[in-house]
Structure 1
């Protein structure tokens, strides 16, 4: 019988585990999960409880080194490994340890947007579509053969949360479509076109500083690409207090102002208009300051204010 290991974390890793258990839990050899209990998105305990309930062997790991050690010390080599919500690079040694394939999901239309934070970069770059690619791992980053690929439209109202949710749902559908083929050893794959490859770097919190000199479209995309649970696009009040802009809206008005200047306070809506590049404005609908979410009108009382 085909034996499958899982490397999983977060809600979509948990859903993957649930699906395979319901389909045929006998194919599950072992589950590895990250000890990510310091992350608000963690599903650590739910994954452990589900493994115990179904008598599935599992290991928890805190570092990639610990995972590599545990994975290679075992005597029962899996046929396949399915990776969902795993944040560490799979080493060449681990790739060679598996009998057949290590399979994962990348939230882009590979070979485009290989690397870290592909959905964030897609929104920032004003892409109109992205997608989910189910593929096999190879030594280089996200360059393995493709099993299935599905396009997703990026709507004007989408933010990183809605796009992740869409992607998670498609990922589960791709798993459902291909798990029987994996178990039967009848999986089909297509090579990627290296001439079309593009790459994106991992993002860190410091990259989220808003540049008010940019046009409204760029700032709108920048905000919706990084809203909670991501660190969020941020700026500073004139006294140095840090604020995070959680939600914004495009406005078609032309305003002549200094970028970052509050040009209007909408008391009824709770929002403010802020001047940006190209003589445009953007409406700020929700911010995060001093540990809590609030409407901008609770912070900005004067059109003399400026956000840095």
Structure 2
């Protein structure tokens, strides 16, 4: 299998320059094809001192692609199979064994181009394939399970909550009606039902994008995994270490922004109580006051970078 064009990393120079400050252990929690990790290794080489990069991905295809790319770098790295929500479980034994401070944790939350462009993975309505959408090919829940087994109310809630879809009830009703005749098994069948349920055909593309996003989030528990990874990744960081997250839609970015704000705020107790010191000091400081966005040059080269938002905090 040719992994040469697995995935073009988004905001790669910005994220690496903001993340890497000192030698130590760095974690790429969303390894993908290894684009960010390759530049991380090159940056670490310029710092001197002992460093180690740990790359994590639950997709065996991604691990193969990254191994092919990073194997030529000569850098010091390890690749681990697992979900980034398992970062604490996966990395803690390495931290103890290497005795290196954890200085950086990177999350790029986007679906890889390779996954989207591979029909067999079932992520895209543009390419007909099985209704799958699993980031981990061995995961238990598929999009077909959700579409064919969730009741109408559950589907409507799902599309509204994870897709912010205004036609959520209408789409859910149409899917339940369609599957009563025969279960939906392909991305093309699902797209046909969604298009037919849209009262205005010019809205169909945005509705399809939101429905497929909602299903992908549900199948992979993306938001729950993100919250777990943020908490555990921040806990792993040594003082001075940085956490960098690239998000692509408002649901993800809202979780990241809320987490960062909570860690950067001190607790001064109830209003009106004049304290000389906070009850609980801030745990972090913002390294980016505003989210970093892709340049026009990058979005022209890679349209998928248009919605990317990079936020970084530093542990105190």
- Check whether TM > 0.5: no
TM-score interval for Structure 1 and Structure 2 normalised by the shorter chain: 0.3 to 0.5
Return the TM-score normalized by structure 1.
0.35
Q: Which has the higher helix share?
A: 2
TM-score (norm 2): 0.34
- Larger RCO, structures 1/2 (Cα 8 Å, 6+ apart): 2
Structure whose residues are more often strand by fraction: 1
